[in-house]
Structure 1
Amino acid sequence: MPAVTRSCGTADDSENALSSLAMIVPFATGDGGGFHAPTIGDIFPGPVLFDGTVFEINRLQIVRFIAAAALIVIFVIAARRATLVPGRFQNVVEMILDFVRVNVAEEILGKEKAPKFVALLTTMFCAILMFNLMGIVPGLNVAATALIGLPLMLAAWTYVSYLSAGVRELGLGGFLKNSLFPPGVPPFLYVLLTPVEFLQVFVIRPATLALRLMANMVSGHLMLALCFSATQYFIFEAVPAMKGFGALTFAGGFIFTLFEVFVATLQAYIFVILTAVYINLSVSKEH
């Protein structure tokens, strides 16, 4: 976002900080240009490195690299510093691991089947949570799941997991029969029910997982961008009578930041809950 030239260094620093919070796109313009609200097109970043090559990297990919590196570092440190009497950092990590194991895997799959899928569900939850939280990190300001590519990859991971789990447990024929021909239904209804079940198992489940995750993170990102870019506009661009509105939009941005933390955590939880449910449906002989 272009900075407005000021004679005072303090004003420059404040404006640059707000620009970082607002994103890197020009929502508010000077010279009477007025305020321009963020649009969905602003989510698609241009290339940053290796422009025009097969190795082209954009800003969102850099955010994903940072999130993945941060997640690896956190768990490496937690593993190397693990003690019999855990400290605060170890307690937080163990609380997350126990939450997924007990409240997701064992609760949905049962204690007998849960150990087979705990690693999958835990990795998925922690990765999605970290990717989502990038949207509130100053200087990054965009969730790594805000473009459909990563949510689609995660949904494909779930897709392969519940299909392979069902085939291993029931065999290919048993899995297809169990999924497409639910028991207790009059045979003549299968003409209508089986195509619906096919779409649900093989198309709707992965599609809704990806779209739900992306849509929630995009909407949260746009709300934060709107609030903080409006704050910059009111404070540095608007006429004096309107500068007071900058305090309101900044407060709104702070509230939406807290709400975005909640949404980021909730979406990670919903994703792994549905993954566990789909796996359970696949390995259950009747449902």
Structure 2
Amino acid sequence: MIRAESFHAPGPADFDLPGFFSIGGTEITKPMIQLVLAAIIVFAFFALAIRRGTLVPGKLQFAGESAYGMVRNSIGRDIIGSHDFARFVPYLVTVFFFIFVNNIFGSVPLIAFPSFSRASMAYALAAVSWVLYNAVGIKKHGFLGYLKLQCVPAGVPVAMYPLLIPLEFFSNLLIRPVTLALRLFCNMFAGHLLLMLFATGGLYLIEHVGGIGYAAGPLAWVLAILVSFLEILVQFLQAYVFTLLNAMYLQGALADEH
């Protein structure tokens, strides 16, 4: 019989990693280093891809152009529109690949930790997006014009305004960055937690249960491997969805009618 009290299941405390070193009293943790490393990787990849641009691209240039074109065309142009999208493409490309690299860290041996499984990281990135699309909307429509655009739906009877205006205000101006961050954080947190559970649970079954544990333990590890492949897909999709929603919010801020 498995004694539940003897197995310490992984939980949120396992995501509170100790600092590697301190700078001015601030503990520098593994996720913080990963954010810097991801920025370097993204910058280096595109810098190398365009370093020797030729009419007939090599493998690296082709990979860089394909990656850039995917975000530029399928997210930027298709969502924001051909008139306004070009000036936002650098931001969208940066956001997509920065998130994707940080997410994929969770599947890289020796690192094995997705940076955005820490809520503070996801909220900080969502805050940048919130500032950007609101600033774009205010610049185009003016503060009061933008506020009206976001809070007063077109074609709605005036009698409905007392109900809809507060809902639209909270939904469009306050809740968006929260849901944007939570979607990214929760998916990365839950996926990594599941992998930890299968890995540690399999080891526990083999070492402490015996008998059926010798069969159940390796099965748990097989499930961990299968989930890790699923996680790679989720890591890509979460980067894509975050960038897609950014484009949608920018398009909404630029639109002339809500």
Match of residue 8, structure 2, among 36, 40, 59: 36
Residue of structure 2 equivalent to 1:76 = 47
Q: Separation in 1 of the partners of 2:90 and 2:71?
A: 9
Contact 2:106 2:113 in 1 (8 A): yes
Deviation at 1:238, TM superposition (A): 4.3
TM-score (norm 1): 0.83
1:118-146 superposed Cα distances (whole Å, 9 cap, x missing partner): 11111111111111111111111110101
Aligned match for 2:73, one of 102, 115, 124: 102
Report the counterpart of residue 176 of structure 1 in structure 2.
Answer: 147
- Alignment of 1:126 with 2:126, yes or no, is no
1:189-212 CA-partner distances (Å, limit 9, x unpaired): 111111111101221111100111
Q: Which amino acid aligns with 2:218?
A: A
State the 1:82 CA deviation.
3.6
Aligned counterpart, 1:45: 17
Given candidates 105, 113, 135, the residue that maps to 2:84 is: 113
Report the alpha carbon displacement of residue 160 of structure 1 after superposing the two structures with TM. Answer: 1.0
Instruction: Kindly state the Cα deviation for residue 186 of structure 1 after the two structures are TM-superposed.
Output: 1.4
> How many equivalent residue pairs?
254
Correspondence list, 1:129-148, <5 A? 129-148=100-119
Q: Any idea what the Cα deviations from partners look like across 1:43-89, whole Å, max 9, x if unmatched?
A: 111222129x5231122222323322222222222222443322333
TM-score, normalised on structure 2?
Answer: 0.91
Give, in whole Å, the separation in 1 of the partners of 2:256 and 2:214.
64
What runs of 5+ residues in structure 2 fail to find an aligned partner? none
Q: Distance in 2 between matches of 1:157 and 1:82?
A: 32
Please provide the CA RMSD for this pair.
Answer: 1.9
Mapped partners of 1:55, 1:82: distance in 2: 42
1:193 aligns with 2:169: no
Instruction: Please list every run of at least 4 consecutive aligned residues from structure 1 whose deviation after the TM superposition is greater than 4 angstroms.
Output: 235-238
Q: What is the correspondence of 1:1-287 to structure 2 with a 5 Å cutoff?
A: 34-50=6-22, 54-239=25-210, 241-287=212-258
Deviation by residue 1:226-266 (Cα, 9 ceiling, x = unmatched): 12222333445542552232321221111111111100110
Instruction: Please state whether the residue corresponding to 2:20 is helix, strand or coil.
Output: strand
Aligned to 2:26, the other structure's residue is in SS state coil
* 1:229–1:84 Cα change, 3 Å: farther
C-alpha displacement of 1:92? 2.4
- Following TM superposition, by how much is the alpha carbon of 1:166 offset from its aligned partner in structure 2, in angstroms? 0.8
